[in-house]
Amino acid sequence: MAIGSEPNSVQRRGLLPLDEAGYIITNELMETEIPGIFAAGDVRPNSAKQAITAAGDDATAAISAARFLSF
């Protein structure tokens, strides 16, 4: 999901935990509070909004998802 200066997460309202600005709340492993749901990149709070940091988030989310699915 691509966003500008505001998160494009309105369609997730009520489904995922969002902060007051509309960003999806995750931990450092990109996990939301809903098991098996991950978020990465600019849709997370405090994102640097840079492609390189989003790619790092994506890699972390992918590893976390793989670990989740292996259990």
Dihedral sign, CA of 49, 52, 1, 23?
negative
Task: Please report which confidence band the pLDDT of residue 8 belongs to, taking 50, 70 and 90 as the band edges.
Answer: low
Structural domains of the chain, with CATH: 10-69 (3.50.50.60)
- CB of 46 closer than 8 Å to CB of 57: no
pTM comes to 0.80
Task: Please report which confidence band the pLDDT of residue 71 belongs to, taking 50, 70 and 90 as the band edges.
Answer: confident
| Mean pLDDT confidence for 12-18 | 81
